[in-house]
Amino acid sequence: MTGKILRSLQLVLIAVVFMFGMVGSPAIARANLIYNGGFELPGIFDGTQKGLTSIPGWRLSFVGSNNYMKLHRNYAGRAHTGQQLMELDSGKTNKINQDITTTPGRTYRLTFAFSARPTVPDNKLNVKWRGSTIAQLSKNGAGLTDTRWQVYSYEVKAISTKTLLSFDNLNELADGQGAFLDSVSLVEIDRTFIANIDSTMNLSPETGAKYVLPAGAYTVSIIGQQEGGKYDAWNRNGTSVTGCDTAGKNCTKGWEHKYFYKIGDSKQVAVDRTGRYQTPQLALANAPADVSFTLTEESEVSFFVTDTGDTTNNIGGVSLLISRQ
Ligand SMILES: [Ca+2]
Ligand SMILES: [Ca+2]
Ligand SMILES: [Ca+2]
């Protein structure tokens, strides 16, 4: 390995560490779930086009004479990314599909680049997500001497473990020239994360567990260790538990969930305990209800507990599942 490559690797590593090290940021880079979304496979000869019945990641809906996916490599215009692009018209109009592994209930961002074929007036691109049309696009390439790419982006939701994504130009004139497609990507949108309030450290808005969150409507639910949280509950008096009733509830000292959140410079909001309990598990079973707030713009939100007594004897904390609708 050359020194240059090593240095670039070091830079990449530094960038990754920086991303994951940002204080309180829940943002995580997500992988593109589309295979061969840039149509670079298989590589074809430069300056040519080639009709194929299947390519890595993609297959045709209809196979028959003149049904081809056409790859171009610097043939009738530049690709959006890399060297190659896909043309859907092969003398017949076509529909191409990819089955994607998805997680039911998750939201994804679908992005792709569409250009008219230069000089060709009729270019259509229809996009379907699990059989439902999400876009019907049209472009006129008259007067173009090179591709003119436009990037489109849609939010889509999965309801099963496999999702079919399709692109077609079936309503386009079948004449061997038409819609160009490139740079298809699908990434999961990060809409939930877990915030852990440490009762020994996160004791004020300034020292709380802080996150910079995008605008949106949020729900905050208390969770326990079984759901991926760090804590089941916290006790402001160490392991001391006193005064509980026979059901282990209404204790004078015990396990609880009282916490606060503060959005930007606005007033802090208390989420009160339902009581104090004999065990963390009992406290968790009786945790306060979910709370909701809406951010009209990107804002810093701090989550914390308070303790007017000795803060060094605190144990445990509050784990929150934070979801954006
Ligand atoms: Ca490409
Ligand atoms: Ca056409
Ligand atoms: Ca304490």
Q: Could you say which ligand is closest to the alpha carbon of residue 73?
A: 1
Backbone φ, ψ for residue 53 (5° rounding): -85, -20
Quick one: 158 and 204 in the same domain? no
User: What pLDDT is attached to residue 2?
Assistant: 44
What CATH number does residue 77 fall under? 2.60.120.260
The count of other CB atoms within 10 Å of the CB of residue 171 is 12
Quick one: 215 and 251 in the same domain? yes
Quick one: 163 and 285 in the same domain? no
- Residue 209 Cα to ligand 3 midpoint, Å, equals 18
DSSP structural state of residue 172: S
Asked if residue 21 is part of any domain, the answer here is no
Asked if residue 291 is part of any domain, the answer here is yes
Give the three-class secondary structure for 69. strand
- Residue 246 burial (C-beta neighbours within 10 Å; 0-12, 13-18, 19+): exposed
Asked if residue 38 is part of any domain, the answer here is no
DSSP-H helix ranges across the chain: 3-21, 280-285
Q: Could you say which ligand is closest to the alpha carbon of residue 112?
A: 1
Domain range enclosing 87: 48-188
- Residue 76 Cα to ligand 2 midpoint, Å, equals 14
- Residue 294 Cα to ligand 1 midpoint, Å, equals 39
Question: Is the separation of the CB atoms in 168 and 135 below 8 Å?
Answer: no
State the 10-residue block means of pLDDT for the chain, 325 residues long: 44 37 44 96 98 96 92 98 97 97 90 98 98 97 98 93 98 98 93 94 97 92 96 98 98 98 97 98 98 96 97 97 90
User: What pLDDT is attached to residue 30?
Assistant: 64
Quick one: 196 and 318 in the same domain? yes
Give the Cα separation of 208 and 268 in Å (integer): 12
Quick one: 61 and 98 in the same domain? yes
Residue at a domain's end among 141, 168, 188: 188
Quick one: 248 and 269 in the same domain? yes
Asked if residue 143 is part of any domain, the answer here is yes
DSSP structural state of residue 242: B
Residue at a domain's end among 173, 188, 203: 188
Give the Cα separation of 295 and 301 in Å (integer): 10
Quick one: 184 and 127 in the same domain? yes
Residue at a domain's end among 188, 215, 237: 188
Question: Is the separation of the CB atoms in 163 and 102 below 8 Å?
Answer: yes
Asked if residue 36 is part of any domain, the answer here is no
What CATH number does residue 252 fall under? 2.60.120
Quick one: 163 and 286 in the same domain? no
- Residue 235 Cα to ligand 3 midpoint, Å, equals 7
User: What pLDDT is attached to residue 68?
Assistant: 95
Asked if residue 310 is part of any domain, the answer here is yes
Question: Per the omega criterion (within 30 degrees of 0), is the bond before 26 cis?
Answer: no
Quick one: 282 and 177 in the same domain? no
- Residue 65 Cα to ligand 2 midpoint, Å, equals 16
Give DSSP secondary structure letters for 99-147. Answer: EEE--TT-EEEEEEEEEPPTT-S-EEEEEEETTEEEEEEEE--TT-SS-
DSSP structural state of residue 246: T
Quick one: 128 and 198 in the same domain? no
The region that residue 264 occupies, defined by phi over 0 for left and psi between -120 and 50 for alpha, beta otherwise, is left
- Residue 314 Cα to ligand 2 midpoint, Å, equals 70
Quick one: 57 and 179 in the same domain? yes
- Residue 181 Cα to ligand 1 midpoint, Å, equals 8
Count of the separate structural domains present in the chain:
2
User: What pLDDT is attached to residue 159?
Assistant: 93
Asked if residue 13 is part of any domain, the answer here is no
Asked if residue 275 is part of any domain, the answer here is yes
- Residue 126 Cα to ligand 2 midpoint, Å, equals 14
Quick one: 178 and 211 in the same domain? no
